[in-house]
Structure 1
Amino acid sequence: MSDTVWIALFRGVGGKTQLPVKPLREKLSQAGFHRVATYINSGNAIVASDRPREDAHAAIAKLCAREFGFEKDIYLRSLAEWERLIAHNPFPEAAKTGKVLHAAILAAKPDNADVTALRAHAVDGEGIVVVDRVAYLHTPHGFGRSKLADKFDRGIKVSNTARNWNTVARLAGLARAAAKEA
């Protein structure tokens, strides 16, 4: 079986919750993952493994809990899934300014009524579109100033973790590089 390149997204890293990247890379490598990379200290890792998703996810979660006391949600997406996330972006113009577009990886599909209720908080130019289990948030006036963004986490009513488009693109590049190393 050939390796799958996985993008691991750790929810809630930052502030009081730290996941130090150098020790994380070392521990992931020791756990048998290959071509390990991390991107900024906000909960992003690239690994390659021949393990199926469930096994890779369980191994990463167990390692993070044991070594770092990290017991929050971890989302695992294959490089192919990440490429689809990029391809299905409903705000292609916003992708050119990476900080005004966010992709939130959702644990489950949200109710349409909850997405509609969130749209009511959008001001002129803002938008939210859900494609599969990804919510795309366009906040042209700034994510930190957006009422839509402020209400998103509770309003979507499913566990999630979001990355701005600059991070989405950078993780894609790291994952593509890991796939070429195979």
Structure 2
Amino acid sequence: MINLNECATIAIAVQTALDAIADDEKSDAWNTQTNDVKAFKVAIMDHGIEVQNTRCVWCTLEVAEEGHRTAHRDHIAPKGKHGRWTFEPLNLAISCEYCNGFKVKGEVETVVTVAANYADVEFLIVHPYLDNTAEHIRFVDNGAGYPIVIEGLSPRGIWTIDTMKLASPHLTKLRAMDHIFAKETAALPAEDQDLFKRAVGRVAP
């Protein structure tokens, strides 16, 4: 899991317009095509892709705006249950379509206690912005320095790993493959690295 220090900055006029939408209408407004909604979504995606180094906030695997492992704007407190936070930048991070899908996170309840101020909400899930993720979740050092095997360090860390299926054999294998790919690519001559990455549809680390 990735620890995030700063959420996206939204233009004041855009955020003001979105905040003015009634709380019980915000979730539905997410799927509209107004200029404010589109500007908000672009800001969230651009910021997330950059600060997360094109990786899913949960499983840490590589994502892209198109193609394999598509990047999703993931509402940490699900917008279907907590519509008031639909356009709260602190409530959004970039994840892959697997982690954000209905078979994993989807509309799973991640909140214990709602508060008027988002930063005061009590979460079940380890929050990438509000928590120091290293206190809850870590990757076990396998001697090679690759973040492959994940371990929970707290009840919330264990809940997050179990709920998000982060320790599944499938994701563990993919993380191992991802880092072996990075190691092997780094061993190539510099002039061959970009060519190889483009050929297999991978972005530079």
- Bigger radius of gyration: 2
Task: Please tell me the TM-score bracket, short chain as reference.
Answer: under 0.3
Larger strand percent: 1
What's the TM-score, normalizing by structure 1?
0.27
Higher relative contact order by CA 8 Å / sep ≥ 6: 1 or 2? 1
What's the TM-score, normalizing by structure 2?
0.25
